[in-house]
């Protein structure tokens, strides 16, 4: 896919992303799931173990992952129903967390239970077993939880 951004053409070959680890958990099927209690092992490349030093001093981390099982729909929807709920309005794709995106990157803020060498044990990551990990960042309370954050009403509207 070629897209124009800020007047410059970026092509696939300009973007280099490599997996740095893999998610291991008990969820093998993509679909609706209660992820809150799912414990995952993030098995990171052994050669990156030193780079994980001190990560365990944080209670939460941000995990960026590649949703490798998103089906190829032959195009990306510009508008979607959030959480596939037909009772919610169609909104722009980027106003949602829908996995069908130009780059199927997933993001999770998760509790870090422990680090065992090159393995990070986390709780609540909504990625299926085998999902490639592309980055890990510490969750920073002063940066990542803006006090004036707000959401549209439809984001939390209960199902009738």
Ligand X SMILES: C[S@@+](CC[C@H](N)C(=O)[O-])C[C@H]1O[C@@H](n2cnc3c(N)ncnc32)[C@H](O)[C@@H]1O
Write out the residues near ligand X by the rule CB under 6 A. 30-31, 33, 67-70, 97, 99, 106-108, 126-128, 131
Which residues, 6+ apart, have CB-to-CB distance to 99 below 8 Å? 67, 70, 106
Nearer to ligand X, 9 or 74 (CB): 74
When CB distances to ligand X are compared, the closest residue is 69
Nearer to ligand X, 7 or 149 (CB): 149
Beta bridge partners of 78: none
Nearer to ligand X, 40 or 115 (CB): 40
* Among 146, 136, 144, residue whose Cα is nearest residue 61: 136
- Least separation in angstroms between CB 30 and ligand X: 4
Rounded Cα distance between 69 and 92, Å, is 22
DSSP symbol at 124: -
Nearer to ligand X, 55 or 70 (CB): 70
Q: Are 66 and 104 in contact (CB under 8 A)?
A: yes
């Amino acid at each position: 896919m070629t897209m124009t951004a800020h007047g410059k053409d970026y092509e696939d070959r300009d973007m280099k992303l490599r997996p740095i680890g893999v998610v291991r958990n008990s969820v093998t099927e993509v679909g609706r799931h209660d992820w809150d209690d799912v414990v995952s092992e993030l098995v990171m490349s052994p050669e990156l173990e030193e780079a994980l030093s001190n990560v365990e001093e944080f209670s939460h981390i941000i995990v960026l992952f590649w949703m490798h099982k998103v089906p190829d729909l032959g195009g990306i929807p510009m508008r979607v129903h959030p959480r596939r709920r037909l009772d919610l309005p169609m909104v722009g794709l980027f106003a949602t967390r829908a996995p069908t995106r130009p780059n199927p990157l997933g993001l999770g803020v998760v509790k870090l239970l422990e680090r065992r060498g090159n393995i990070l044990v986390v709780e609540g990551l909504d990625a299926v077993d085998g999902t490639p990990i592309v980055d890990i960042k510490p969750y920073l309370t002063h940066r990542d939880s803006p006090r004036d954050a707000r959401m549209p009403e439809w984001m939390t509207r209960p199902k009738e």
